[in-house]
């Protein structure tokens, strides 16, 4: 999919499992970022960044207010 979006520079995942799957696909030994953390994400000769956002599932203990704050901060940082 990234090959079809050449202007993409940033990727975000929601939760640990999604991040784990993406890191497995990348195959470069990148350490699992903490929730809210952004790390370099080289992929197919491109210098991207990856941000791990909180899971959107209600099953995880982070409060809705904290999840919303993390998404708000990411949106302001990346969409400006």
Average pLDDT over the chain, rounded to whole? 86
Cβ neighbourhood burial of 52 (10 Å; 0-12, 13-18, 19+): buried
Predicted TM-score (pTM) above 0.85: no
With cut-offs at 50, 70 and 90, classify the pLDDT of residue 61.
confident
Quote the number of domains for the chain: 1
**Domain that residue 26 falls in:** 2-79
pLDDT of residue 79: 53
Greater model confidence, 60 or 46: 46
* pLDDT at 78 exceeding the cut of 70: no
Tens digits of residue pLDDT in 25-43: 888 788 999 988 999 999 8
Token pair of 4 as six digits: 């079809």
Spatial distance between the Cα atoms of 27 and 42, rounded to a whole number of angstroms: 10
Closest by CA position to 71, among listed 4, 15, 32, 31: 15
Q: Please check the confidence at residue 80 and state whether its pLDDT lies above 70.
A: no
């Amino acid at each position: 999919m990234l090959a079809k979006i050449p202007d993409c520079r940033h990727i975000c995942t929601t939760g640990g499992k999604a991040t784990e799957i993406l890191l497995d696909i990348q195959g470069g030994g990148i350490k699992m970022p903490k929730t809210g953390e952004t790390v370099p994400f080289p992929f197919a000769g491109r210098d991207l960044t990856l941000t791990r956002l909180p899971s959107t599932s209600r099953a995880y203990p982070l409060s809705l207010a904290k999840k919303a704050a993390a998404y708000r901060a990411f949106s302001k940082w990346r969409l400006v």
